Amino acid sequence: MSIKRRLTLIILSTVILTCFLAFSKGYRESMSQAELLLDNELQTIAHVLIEQPIHSDKPVLRSDLTRLLFQIWQDNNLLSASKSLAELAQKPRLNGFSVENLAGQRMRVFRLTMQTKQVLVAEPLSKRYELSETMILSAMTPLLWSVPLLAVLISLFVKQGLRPLTRLSTLLKTRQANDFTAINWQVSEYEIKPVISRLNDLFKRVESAYLRERFFASDAAHELRTPLSSLKINVHNLRAQGDGCLELDAMAQGIDKLSNIVEQMLILGRTYPEQWQAQFSPISVLEVSQQVVAQLYERLDAKQHMISIEGDDYVINGDQFTLATLFSNLLSNAIKYTPSGGNIVIRLSNQQGAYGWQIDDSGPGIDDAHKARIFNRFYRVGGDKHPSGEQGAGLGMAIVEHIVTIYDASISLADSELGGLQVRVEFMQGAESE
């Protein structure tokens, strides 16, 4: 839920609750005031009636045209009355107010006695409540109707108040991932100033850490290439002069492994999205796949692997180096872990704008527990004691993940129909679709 909606609901709920409490209190007080006014009305009418001269031997009956009923007695004789109370016998009662059952209704009754004359004035409680509630609701109804208008006004005011925060959110959302420049925005709001200040400080520290992480591995690897090359040449010369010393053979294998790690680190340092996306151009995926197979053909032939490329060619916007590195690392892993005489199949597919590149092998595959960690740097299934006995740096799949990010693609691992691992890369953009 957005802050705007939450604030609007909180403020509106508070206003509605306050209005409800005020309405309840106002209703009770209004009813009390209405009761007092109506009682005063009964008293006034009683005084008016008791002062009216009436001389008659027979009771004068009045139709019940109003909400008030009355009786006028003198010397225990009924002089005048409403029809509803004509048959009601007078009972001695004290002067004042009471609630009684008269003529089949609950009534508010007032009795007044003056010398030998007595007046009874009664009003049905139902009519009294109806009149009071009508008056109160007519006064409260405009307040109830104003709640929707109040909700709209609150929403507009909250939106206006949160505009600086919304602007800051939009500014951060549209920033590139590698843009660490300070936010150059002068604001007058006291609450936003420290936020922008802290963000600018954070951008500086993140940029410093980002540059250190970005260039450290590639710089270190670059510095190691020269001494490794020199060491490799010296070992080669010693092996050529000697009698095949086992220590020199082990040293040569270690140097080859270290050289491979250095080369992978250099590639990893080069595969950052912002460096490549601006250089994209239409490129044939089938052509790159064939070139990668040709480059690794000696390794395929050495292990007597059967390899095939299936599917139709398609074109995507990409870069030759990154795409070749992606396919080469995946094919190299398939060659490395597929036993001699195994099968490797590369499949190209184009379905509804989704461009797929998939490789299957007949190797041992990977357990589900290891699939989630395979993209971690320097992680190898089984470590250096992998059953295949193949050497590796554990950087190949990390490089693959970097390149997949460059292309805004997706990568998935599954069990292959050939018995080994299936790796599928989905490119969601292509030159043809554009």
Residue 431 has pLDDT above 50, yes or no: no
pTM (2 d.p.): 0.48
pLDDT band at 433 (very low <50, low <70, confident <90, very high): very low
The answer to whether residue 254 sits within a structural domain is: yes
The answer to whether residue 332 sits within a structural domain is: yes
Going across the sheet that includes 421-427, the strands are 306-310, 343-351, 354-361, 421-427, 410-415
Give the pLDDT of residue 65: 52
The three-state DSSP-derived secondary structure of the chain is CCHHHHHHHHHHHHHHHHHHHHHHHHHHHHHHHHHHHHHHHHHHHHHHHHCCCCCCCCCEEECCCCCCEEEEEECCEEEEEEHHHCCCCCCCCCCEEEEEEECCEEEEEEEEEECCEEEEEEEEHHHHHHHHHHHHHHHHHHHHHHHHHHHHHHHHHHHHHCHHHHHHHHHHHCCCCCCCCCCCCCCCCCCHHHHHHHHHHHHHHHHHHHHHHHHHHHHHHHHHHHHHHHHHHHHHHHHHHCCCCHHHHHHHHHHHHHHHHHHHHHHHHHCCHHHHHHHCEEEEHHHHHHHHHHHCHHHHHHCCCEEEEECCCCEEEECHHHHHHHHHHHHHHHHHHCCCCCEEEEEEEEECCEEEEEEEECCCCCCHHHHCCCCCCCCCCCHHHCCCCCCCCCCHHHHHHHHHHHCCCEEEEEECCCCCEEEEEEECCCCCCC
Residue 94 has pLDDT above 50, yes or no: yes
Tens-place pLDDT, residues 76-87: 788 888 877 777
Residue 179 and residue 260 in one domain: yes
The answer to whether residue 432 sits within a structural domain is: no
CATH code, domain with 362: 3.30.565.10
Tally the domains of the chain: 3
The answer to whether residue 167 sits within a structural domain is: no
Higher-pLDDT residue of 197, 230: 197
Residue 123 and residue 203 in one domain: no
Q: 60 has which bridge partners?
A: 80
As a whole number of angstroms, the longest Cα–Cα distance in the chain is 157
* Domain final residue, candidates 91, 126, 156: 156
Residue 101 has pLDDT above 80, yes or no: yes
The answer to whether residue 47 sits within a structural domain is: yes
Residue 251 and residue 324 in one domain: no
Residue 307 and residue 321 in one domain: yes
Higher-pLDDT residue of 113, 20: 113
CATH code, domain with 38: 3.30.450
Most confident of the following: 156-170, 175-189, 289-303: 289-303
Tens-place pLDDT, residues 240-266: 776 556 666 667 766 776 666 666 666
Give the pLDDT of residue 140: 72
The answer to whether residue 166 sits within a structural domain is: no
Mean pLDDT of 368-379: 70
* Domain final residue, candidates 270, 287, 318: 270
Residue 44 and residue 85 in one domain: yes
* Domain final residue, candidates 212, 247, 270: 270
Give the pLDDT of residue 268: 56
Determine how many CB atoms are found less than 10 A away from the CB of residue 39.
Answer: 15
Higher-pLDDT residue of 64, 112: 112
Domain with 16 in it:
3-156
Give the pLDDT of residue 224: 67
Residue 48 and residue 183 in one domain: no
pLDDT band at 63 (very low <50, low <70, confident <90, very high): low
Residue 262 and residue 286 in one domain: no
Residue 434 has pLDDT above 50, yes or no: no
The answer to whether residue 257 sits within a structural domain is: yes
Tens-place pLDDT, residues 170-183: 888 877 766 778 88
Residue 37 has pLDDT above 60, yes or no: yes
Residue 223 and residue 90 in one domain: no
Give the pLDDT of residue 429: 65
Residue 348 has pLDDT above 90, yes or no: yes
Residue 214 and residue 100 in one domain: no
Q: Among 4-8, 163-167, 238-242, 299-303, whose mean pLDDT is lowest?
A: 238-242
Residue 51 and residue 127 in one domain: yes
CATH code, domain with 231: 1.10.287
Residue 241 and residue 308 in one domain: no
Residue 139 and residue 253 in one domain: no
Tens-place pLDDT, residues 118-150: 888 888 888 877 777 777 777 777 777 777 888
The answer to whether residue 164 sits within a structural domain is: no
pLDDT band at 432 (very low <50, low <70, confident <90, very high): very low
Tens-place pLDDT, residues 375-418: 776 566 655 544 554 555 567 788 788 888 888 888 888 888 88
pLDDT band at 169 (very low <50, low <70, confident <90, very high): confident
Give the pLDDT of residue 351: 79
How far apart are alpha carbons 418 and 356 in whole angstroms? 18
